[in-house]
Amino acid sequence: MAQTRDDLDPALAVRILRLEAVVQGVAWGLVAGLLLFLATNVLVLKGGRIVGPHLSLLRQFFVGYQVTFVGSLIGFAYAFICGFAAGYLVSIVYNRVVRRRSNG
Amino acid sequence: MQRLVVIGAGPAGLTAAYEATRFGLDAVVLEKSDDVGGLARTADFKGFHFDMGGHRFFTKSGSVEKMWREVLGRKLLRRPRLSRIFYRGRFFQYPLRPGNALRGLGPWRAIAIVASWFKWQLFPYRTEDTFEQWVTNRFGRRLFRTFFQTYTEKVWGVPCSQLKAEWAAQRIKDLSLKTAVSNMFRRRRTTIKTLIEEFDYPVLGPGMMWKAVRDAIVDAGGTVELEREVLRIEHDGRVVSRIVTAHDGRPEEIEGTDFVSSMPITELVAKLDPPPPPGVLDAARALSYRDFLTVCLIVNRADLFPDNWIYVHDPRVKVGRIQNYRNWSPAMVPDPSKTGLGLEYFCTEGDALWRSTDEELVALAIREIAAIGLASAGDVAEGHVVRVPKAYPIYDSNYREHLDVLKTFLAEFANLQTIGRNGLHRYDNQDHAMLTAMLAVRNVALQEKNDVWGVNADPDYQEEVRLETALQRVFAKLDRFGFGVAVGAVAAAVLSLASLFPLIKGDPVMGHELALLAQYLPGYEASAIGMLRGLAYGLVGGFGVGWTFAVIRNAAALFSLAVIRRRVESRLLRRVFDYV
């Protein structure tokens, strides 16, 4: 009531978010895993003479991955692990930067 | 033996004495008037009962609820609530519903109100310093004038353009953003529904409760002395030693070990002997009150209207609220063919209305009840006037500063505490006043250190704090720079490691395929140089992506917060008169 229209709430607006590393890791992992799972299966359903020539290049990094349904499950697992690692690391780095900035 | 002397026999004072006797203390209550109940007393006129102000028994405090049930038992009724707004001969639903309001006002007024609403949505006040600005920005000028202005000004006696937003924020606690947003996310509670739709009420009004508490105090060995005006409070600067009261025109000394006062804090300070420093007395004089009087009418008709009370917004009459006590409890009216009404006039002690004679006030009430068409003048059998001084502490722009002076001064006394609405100069309800008394007595009996001034009567407080913390986490800002750096660092690490991988593995095909990334990242290749370039690309590109994401995310969070706040505030404002 006492705020102006532009002043939403200092307590909320000023507070800086801290990220939960594990939660972020799981979220990023699930998103990455699902993306690869869907991307693989879209190509599988589309079919054709050569299925997913570009996406299958990922097997260079994800050993055992291929553009098939079974491959999509393997890909999900790989992408989840990589996504988890990325989300986890982003959170750790972010929290450190924020802590350093707020202290300094 | 510890002896607690309590000043005032209102809800706070009587609760203090009641609790004290339960702890085995000797308790004596000193009351200036000839009846108990204070601001929550029930007047008795020819067998009809009139509740001064209308006191719903509703609390979130388990201790208060327990005491009510302990004292009243089955005499506490569960009553349905109906209260509407009366404006220009029509009833409008309360809490306000825009559709109902527009239908009731007729097509032309409805069109004007909608147009006004659009205008104020497009060109609102830039700042919201006053109650008028705040409501107008949400409902438009026309709806503000129709449903908010008149009643609020009747209650407080000042134009809405002078009512500070601070006042409303303090009184309408629910309108604070954090609580409002908390409520939005909180599971809908039955207590909220209860507050709006039904409440508990003693068979014969709140006075019944306070008379029963008085009896319980006396049964437990305490004393409740009526018509005992406090003349002075003697002290040595740190300890109060005795109170001198007027008894049958003669001064009488009342000794005690501990003292609790529910009398207006301004009067308490003025009665200290020796007197406090001039600065403290000035601060006390600067605090002010709003008063009201009720004209009680006995009407020779059984059913006038179904509401417990009606808010009268009509600017043609002075009456602010009309209570129908029969609908609070049928037992309030001894004759089923009649109705007991209370016409409430808000005023200031000493003004023209306050100084009017009882006959003039009864005549005014009869004229006004007839003018607004709720009963004809011929239906009114008799009338009676009850004046309620210092009913509402006023929160003006400097009151906090003055109150702090008094608080600091009174904190020096080791055995004196103030409680209740007027003792703390706080616009609390009956249950809050009782809770302050309970805590004050615990301080005396159990040597606890409860801060009566800081008491929050809401047991949901801790839950609210937790919710606020959670909300702060949800709506807190994502640090743009921090997130940019984090995403950039991880992207750089991924790209550089990916570039190294074919070199370590010694697989030229893999390196060739990875080099396809050069389509997007010019100059990139799977080599040691490429690794460095990948590192740079990852840092810069990742930073850009992270920074942009944080900006968009923060904007979305603030936008959703603004939408939620607006929605909740509008909902609360529709029942603003519960707080006014």
Instruction: Encode pLDDT of B186-216 as tens digits.
Output: 444 444 433 457 889 999 999 999 999 999 9
Q: Which residue of B has its CA nearest to A15?
A: B476
Q: B379 near B300, Cβ under 8 Å?
A: yes
Say whether both B418 and B294 belong to one domain: no
Residue A13 to residue B477, Cβ atoms within 8 A: yes
Distance CA B223, CA B218 (A): 6
Going by C-beta distance under 8 Å and a sequence separation of 6 or more, which residues neighbour residue B111? none
pLDDT < 70 positions in chain A? 1-15, 104
Going by C-beta distance under 8 Å and a sequence separation of 6 or more, which residues neighbour residue B278? none
Q: A75 near A37, Cβ under 8 Å?
A: yes
Specify burial of residue B526 (Cβ count, 10 A radius: 0-12, 13-18, 19+).
Answer: buried
The pLDDT value recorded for residue B525 is 81
Q: Which residue of A has its CA nearest to B484?
A: A94
Helix (H) or strand (E) holding B322: strand B321-324
Going by C-beta distance under 8 Å and a sequence separation of 6 or more, which residues neighbour residue B204? B42, B49, B75, B329, B331, B332
**Helix H segments across chain A?**
10-14, 21-46, 69-103
DSSP, residue by residue, B3-51: EEEEE--SHHHHHHHHHHHHTT-EEEEE-SSSSS-GGG-EEEETTEEEE
Q: Taking residues B153-160, what's their average pLDDT?
A: 87
B250 domain-assigned: yes
Structure tokens, B177: 């953003």
B268 domain-assigned: yes
Say whether both B556 and B407 belong to one domain: no
Residue B485 to residue A93, Cβ atoms within 8 A: yes
Summarize pLDDT for B332-362 with one digit per residue, the tens: 999 999 999 999 999 999 999 999 999 999 9
The pLDDT value recorded for residue B461 is 46
Angle in degrees, CA B551, B557, B563, rounded to 5: 135
Please tell me if residue A1 touches chain B, with a CB cutoff of 8 Å: yes
Q: Which residue of A has its CA nearest to B565?
A: A8
Summarize pLDDT for B212-258 with one digit per residue, the tens: 999 999 999 999 999 999 999 999 989 999 999 998 889 999 999 99
Structure tokens, B243: 């109170």
Rounded to the nearest angstrom, the minimum Cα separation between B106 and chain A is: 31
What total of structural domains would you count in chain B? Answer: 3
Task: For residue B165, give the nearest of A1, A18, A97 by CB distance.
Answer: A1
| DSSP designation for B146 | I
| Residue A38 structural domain | 20-103
What is the spatial order of strands in the sheet that B380-393 belongs to?
B90-92, B83-87, B309-312, B321-324, B339-347, B289-299, B380-393
Summarize pLDDT for B107-131 with one digit per residue, the tens: 888 899 889 989 998 999 988 888 8
The pLDDT value recorded for residue A73 is 95
Please tell me if residue A63 touches chain B, with a CB cutoff of 8 Å: no
Residue A94 to residue B486, Cβ atoms within 8 A: yes
What total of structural domains would you count in chain A? Answer: 1
B578 — pLDDT class (breaks 50, 70, 90): low
Residue B478 to residue A14, Cβ atoms within 8 A: no
Q: B446 near B25, Cβ under 8 Å?
A: no
- CA–CA distance from B456 to each of B52, B294, B446 (Å)? 25, 31, 20
The pLDDT value recorded for residue B334 is 95
Chain A residue numbers with beta carbons less than 8 Å from the beta carbon of B498 are 61
Chain A residue numbers with beta carbons less than 8 Å from the beta carbon of B490 are 86, 89-90, 93
Q: Which residue of B has its CA nearest to A56?
A: B513
Helix (H) or strand (E) holding B393: strand B380-393
The CATH number that applies at residue B433 is 3.50.50.60
**Helix H segments across B157-236?**
165-171, 177-185, 190-197, 206-219
Reported pTM: 0.71
Distance CA B405, CA B192 (A): 36
Q: Which of B155, B128, B170, B64 is closest to B403 using CA atoms? A: B170
Residue B134 to residue A1, Cβ atoms within 8 A: yes
Q: Which of B188, B171, B194 is closest to B56 using CA atoms? A: B194
Q: Which residue of A has its CA nearest to B502?
A: A60
B99 domain-assigned: no
A5 domain-assigned: no
B286 — pLDDT class (breaks 50, 70, 90): very high
B-contacting residues in A 24-53 (Cβ below 8 Å): none
Helix (H) or strand (E) holding B84: strand B83-87
The pLDDT value recorded for residue A10 is 46
Note the residue count of chain B.
Answer: 580
Say whether both B280 and B408 belong to one domain: yes
Q: Is the ipTM of this complex over 0.90?
A: no
Say whether both B271 and B341 belong to one domain: no
Say whether both B314 and B375 belong to one domain: yes
Q: Taking residues B505-534, what's their average pLDDT?
A: 80
Residue A5 to residue B137, Cβ atoms within 8 A: yes
A89 domain-assigned: yes
Distance CA A90, CA B488 (A): 9
| Residue B12 structural domain | 3-41+54-77+202-287+397-459
Q: Taking residues B392-421, what's their average pLDDT?
A: 91
A8 domain-assigned: no
Which residues on adjacent β-strands are paired with residue B339?
A: B299
A2 domain-assigned: no
Distance CA A17, CA B233 (A): 54
Domain end call among B393, B421, B450 = B393
Chain A residue numbers with beta carbons less than 8 Å from the beta carbon of B165 are 1-2
Say whether both B428 and B507 belong to one domain: no
The CATH number that applies at residue B352 is 3.90.660.20
Rounded to the nearest angstrom, the minimum Cα separation between A47 and chain B is: 23
A84 domain-assigned: yes
Angle in degrees, CA B427, B213, B413, rounded to 5: 55
Domain end call among B459, B491, B513 = B459
pLDDT averaged over every residue in chain B: 87
Q: B243 near B256, Cβ under 8 Å?
A: yes
The pLDDT value recorded for residue B193 is 39
| DSSP designation for B532 | H
Residue B472 to residue A3, Cβ atoms within 8 A: no
The pLDDT value recorded for residue B249 is 84
A1 domain-assigned: no
Q: B427 near B393, Cβ under 8 Å?
A: yes
Q: Which residue has the tokens 């009430």?
A: B365
B351 domain-assigned: yes
Q: Is the pLDDT of residue B173 over 80?
A: no
Q: Which residue of A has its CA nearest to B487?
A: A90
Q: Is the pLDDT of residue B46 over 60?
A: yes
Which residues on adjacent β-strands are paired with residue B383?
A: B297
Summarize pLDDT for B447-487 with one digit per residue, the tens: 998 889 876 544 444 455 555 566 666 677 888 999 999 99
A43 domain-assigned: yes
Task: For residue B172, give the nearest of A1, A4, A90 by CB distance.
Answer: A1
Chain B residue numbers with beta carbons less than 8 Å from the beta carbon of A57 are 513
Task: Number of A to B CB contacts under 8 A, please give it.
Answer: 99
Distance CA B266, CA B288 (A): 9
Q: Taking residues B2-11, what's their average pLDDT?
A: 96
Please tell me if residue A8 touches chain B, with a CB cutoff of 8 Å: yes
Which residues on adjacent β-strands are paired with residue B27?
A: B4
Distance CA B472, CA B478 (A): 12
Task: Indicate which of B177, B464, B504, B509 best probes the interface with A, i.e. most A CBs within 10 Å of its own CB.
Answer: B177
A6 domain-assigned: no
Packed helices B278-286 and B399-410: angle between N→C axes, nearest 10 degrees: 140
End-to-end C-alpha distance for chain B, whole angstroms: 44
Domain end call among B337, B363, B393 = B393
| DSSP designation for B428 | -
Residue B490 to residue A89, Cβ atoms within 8 A: yes
- Higher per-residue confidence, B428 vs B176: B428
Distance CA B137, CA B118 (A): 10
Say whether both B222 and B350 belong to one domain: no
Residue B562 to residue A86, Cβ atoms within 8 A: no
- Cis status of the peptide bond prior to B459, with omega within 30 of 0: no
B82 domain-assigned: no
A64: left (phi over 0), alpha (psi -120 to 50) or beta: left
B452 domain-assigned: yes
Distance CA B112, CA B142 (A): 7
